[in-house]
Structure 1
Amino acid sequence: MRNIKLTIEYDGKRYLGWQRLGDSDKTIQGKIEAIITQMTGEKIEIIGSGRTDAGTHARGQVANFKTNTTLSREEILDFMNRYLPQDIVVKKVEEMPERFHARYNCIGKQYSYYIWNNPIPSAFERHRSFHVPQELDIDKMNLACEKLLGKHDFMGFSALKKTKKSTVRTIEELSIQREGSLLHVTFVGDGFLHKMVRIITGTLVEIGAGKMEIDEIDAIFESKVRQHAGETVPAQGLFLDEVFYK
């Protein structure tokens, strides 16, 4: 039995997210599984490094699947990119040890979030960024980023309800760069809770707009109450850039 690792790029605009849904064929996982099943003649289930929400994009999602196919890695790559929709692309196919697991072996991820910060919206960036017309104080936002670095309980920055699992995560890098009218927010960490990147970004936007103060971040960590943080920014500005493994 072979264990195949896929590195996948997708435009999430017209999909309901990564995870397969029984009543819809509009998921990334569902589309990929259907093509691999067609290719191998086997009933295939793929394991992703994690879920992405409806509308979220990926440059480097990772998944693996087990198969008995004798097709080469090049043949698998060619077949999948020939028959997948054009907004889903397999960038790399690798042969992995039997015990490799795309989710359990993951040690970290990098995300990007894009904000179109201009009074005038963009016709081209509307599906790949969040439009914020008011001027944002980038220096103040970057100071706020420093408070979010390190190991913290991020329950207050997540959409989770009560959970028995740990909500402690470590953010190793969080910074904002301006590229013309586009603000690029970079997140690197050992893991992210449900909607955590989007809620942190929303909090940073409110700080940059003068609606929240930097010190309120400490209060959110202490209270662990979601309502104390900023808004959840839209999914279309979010990209999963890379998944890290040992």
Structure 2
Amino acid sequence: MKLALGVEYLGTNFHGWQLQKSGIRTVQQVVEQALSSVADHPVRVFCSGRTDAGVHALEQVIHFETTAKREDKAWVLGGNVNLPFDVNFKWAKQVNDDFHARFDAHARQYHYKIHNTPVRSAVKHAYTLWESRTLDIKLMNQAAECLIGEHDFSSFRGSLCQAKSPIKTVEFIRLTQSGNGILLDIKANAFLHHMVRNIVGTLIKVGKGEQDSAWVKTVLDAKDRKQAGVTAEPQGLYFVKAFYDNF
């Protein structure tokens, strides 16, 4: 039997999603331990999109196979009893045997949160990027328009990226502001390693007035990571959800 679960987590105290050598705390590690306790046998999970150290998730989708027969709510409630405070199962459901959390996802959505105020916040530091200089989100939105559609995103690709192709399709990218909080919302068919964080770092240069809005198109066309802005810090990034057909 194959099951899918929705997982929410704060990435602050994790070394990313992916299982690593013994002694290194990862989200996959604690999730597999919790599910193995409920299933009464070792469980290996697969996720819709791996996240780096410090990155959060509102609804990561995972799947796993099991011989144990439990009600859906038993996987959620039983799993949560065995999880630390910074990870939580939101839902569980049985899926077809050929379902794959990663390969069946046709799109993914991320948020990036910026705390835009002259004085940093001790409370929000772990969940947002602090930027002391006032950002012009109107200019940032104008600059981001060129990223919508199918493009070669090599200029926003991390050096450790293992994707076969840098060509991705962005469905939308938009920035909104509420008080001193700025939210970047982006959805694409897939993302390169560090792609969102590199886009954020690039747009911030526009927002601070260091570059004009047309510069982002120049960066995109260059297909050269050295031409873009710095990689924004991980704590502002949230994996929002993955999208599937008939799910």
Per the shorter chain, which TM-score range? over 0.9
| Unaligned ranges ≥5, structure 2 | none
The alignment of Structure 1 onto Structure 2 pairs a total of residues equal to 245
Map 1:225-244 onto structure 2 (within 5 A): 225-244=224-243
Asked whether the 8 Å contact 1:25–1:31 carries over to 2, the reply is no
1:47-85: CA deviations, max 9, x gaps? 001210000000010000000001211111111011100
CA distance in 2, matches of 1:164, 1:68: 33
Using structure 1 for the length normalisation, give the TM-score: 0.96
Counterpart secondary structure, 1:85: coil
Asked whether the 8 Å contact 2:143–2:213 carries over to 1, the reply is yes
1:179-229: CA deviations, max 9, x gaps? 100001101111110000000011010111112222222322232111100
- Once the two structures are TM-superposed, the CA of residue 158 in structure 1 deviates from its matched residue by 1.2
CA distance in 1, matches of 2:50, 2:117: 31
| Unaligned ranges ≥5, structure 1 | none
CA distance in 2, matches of 1:11, 1:240: 11
Asked whether the 8 Å contact 2:4–2:63 carries over to 1, the reply is yes
Match of 2:12 in 1: 13
Asked whether the 8 Å contact 1:160–1:193 carries over to 2, the reply is no
Asked whether the 8 Å contact 1:18–1:51 carries over to 2, the reply is yes
Displacement over 4 Å in runs of 4+: 161-164
What's the C-alpha RMSD, in Å, of the aligned pairs?
Answer: 1.3
Match of 1:154 in 2: 153
CA distance in 1, matches of 2:22, 2:85: 23
Amino acid of the residue matched to residue 27 of structure 1?
T
Asked whether the 8 Å contact 1:46–1:65 carries over to 2, the reply is yes
Match of 1:209 in 2: 208
- Alpha carbons of 1:56 and 1:164: their partners in 2 closer, same or farther (altered >3 Å)? closer
Map 1:156-235 onto structure 2 (within 5 A): 156-160=155-159, 165-235=164-234
Asked whether the 8 Å contact 1:56–1:237 carries over to 2, the reply is yes
CA distance in 2, matches of 1:81, 1:135: 41
Using structure 2 for the length normalisation, give the TM-score: 0.96
Match of 2:98 in 1: 99
CA distance in 2, matches of 1:87, 1:163: 28
Q: Percent identity?
A: 33
